[in-house]
Structure 1
């Protein structure tokens, strides 16, 4: 588990930009210098106060791989004190990767709320919905709360239905997408989310949401872009090409790099 003090993010950005620009210049000449852009920074928050998923480290590794391949940089933290105005303003996206329980205090919550209101972006993966149950604003941000899952086994095969293939995070997916994961049931589903993918409860046992069982959605209701996907419980999830692209395209959408 990673513990760290708040880093000097501005210095890191400067170093990375200068390094990438020099490399590009050396390889491609003057035009490359002019076209080099500062990479987006992503904060992957993995603090847990409840169940801790074994897939967290694999998830962070996957996000970092996607970043190296697509021009953004992922920094991991489990230090809630990093949720302060001075630090958060450096990030284009904050990812709650299998967080659980109450992970932010009142001051940190206020900083995060202001970050989103100011146009910051949020991506929740799997247990992000098993987080901050006593914070109504977070319910609206993440879109729903965890309400149990099938047991014995908790991981099982199910069929997902893509209900909106116009979004970048679902455009590559088949209409009927069969995969294996731990399938959450939800409560307190916000009526303003825009659902992209639903679960077919007839394809597995243990679903409790009935005919309306969203599993991936997005919205822009609180000032910035927000996306949630229910996949990502298993280590194996992060090796699936379709799921990896789903995550990547969700992140690029959060960056407003929609057309990539």
Structure 2
């Protein structure tokens, strides 16, 4: 999500009443879509751009690792899905091209990119070894006019990973299938609920809050021995991006193996105070990337990836390469659940 210009991108006319006489609806304001070159996020209603700018692709390609950390066990195929139903990130096409060019350069996999949820079906998924969710948002698999089709797609994705394949997701892949219900009073904490619990569990949690772009975040390396973090210095690193956090009860170290997290102790009091008090995590645990076993399959998730410039970082792109190879089953890694004591 991004809030700066988003309020200007969609407007809804209000119809009012005075006494018993209904007034005519105010003229609807024209939809203002992001100008060319805009980066960040915007609400639905504008066409979702499906191409990355050449300058961004060039900068991303300069950051590509020379080789993959693991040799593929066989020819691998990755399906990238970039459908966003609510918030649309301009970095989605670049994330998709990152996956494609990582596979092409290292030989680790072949890539197909789609923005059509209909491609998530049992027959089509048979040819793929992993699905990459590129900042998908909202009910990205659903057809609101066809529940049977929606049910088939949902089951296909869950069966895909449970039966031995992989899912990798970046940034808004956790901003899906959840809702917020206001508390009984203004002071009461809102109720955050996952609307597709099985998917929420597969992804390790769902979105609650973010520190807006550009916020400087110090990243802690929770598992410096993992092949998925070998590209980072053990002391951690700094990144400027939009940083997601998860609803208190949706994410837990007792379920996922945390690779990196926000070094909360190094955050300024000013930035800490930006998180709403009535939904603030009580454990100070803000995971950024993690892996987990789901049935016979594997899941990798990275919370950063909002802004295009993140994809220009060689260590970050190498982290994504390793994570996808883990999801494919080619890069073994300790994926046992972390424990609160290790934080």
Shorter-chain TM-score: what band?
0.7 to 0.9
Determine the structure 2 residue equivalent to 1:140: 201
Are 2:112 and 1:39 equivalent residues in the alignment? Answer: no
Tell me the secondary structure at the aligned position of residue 168 of structure 1: coil
Determine the structure 2 residue equivalent to 1:251: 324
Q: Deviations over 1:205-252 (max 9, x none)?
A: 145435211111110033301011111001001110010000001111
Q: Deviations over 1:177-232 (max 9, x none)?
A: 11111011211114311111110233251454352111111100333010111110
> 1:110, CA displacement in angstroms?
0.7
Determine the structure 2 residue equivalent to 1:242: 315
Are 2:91 and 1:55 equivalent residues in the alignment? Answer: yes
| TM-score normalised per structure 1 | 0.81
* Higher share of residues assigned helix: 1
Q: Deviations over 1:59-110 (max 9, x none)?
A: 1111111011121111111111111111111111101110000012222001
Report the RMSD for the aligned CA atoms in angstroms. Answer: 2.1
Tell me the secondary structure at the aligned position of residue 102 of structure 1: coil
> What runs of 5+ residues in structure 1 fail to find an aligned partner?
4-35
Distance in 2, Cα, partners of 1:2 & 1:223 = 35
Distance in 2, Cα, partners of 1:233 & 1:2 = 15
Are 2:227 and 1:182 equivalent residues in the alignment? Answer: no
In structure 2, relative to structure 1, the CA distance for the partners of 1:94 and 1:2 (3 Å cut) is: farther
Question: Which of 67, 77, 81 is matched with 2:114 structurally?
Answer: 77
Distance in 1, Cα, partners of 2:328 & 2:227 = 12
Question: Which of 115, 135, 139 is matched with 2:160 structurally?
Answer: 115
Distance in 1, Cα, partners of 2:76 & 2:240 = 31
Question: Which of 105, 119, 126 is matched with 1:89 structurally?
Answer: 126
Determine the structure 2 residue equivalent to 1:203: 267
Determine the structure 1 residue equivalent to 2:286: 213
Q: Is the Cα contact below 8 Å between 1:98 and 1:126 reproduced in 2?
A: yes
Distance in 1, Cα, partners of 2:101 & 2:206 = 29
Are 2:174 and 1:129 equivalent residues in the alignment? Answer: yes
Larger Rg: 2
Q: Is the Cα contact below 8 Å between 1:159 and 1:179 reproduced in 2?
A: yes
Tell me the secondary structure at the aligned position of residue 183 of structure 1: strand
Number of aligned pairs? 226
Distance in 2, Cα, partners of 1:118 & 1:135 = 19
Tell me the secondary structure at the aligned position of residue 225 of structure 2: coil
Q: Is the Cα contact below 8 Å between 1:168 and 1:250 reproduced in 2?
A: no
> What runs of 5+ residues in structure 2 fail to find an aligned partner?
1-47, 51-71, 142-149, 179-194, 333-343
> 1:37, CA displacement in angstroms?
7.8
> 1:38, CA displacement in angstroms?
5.4
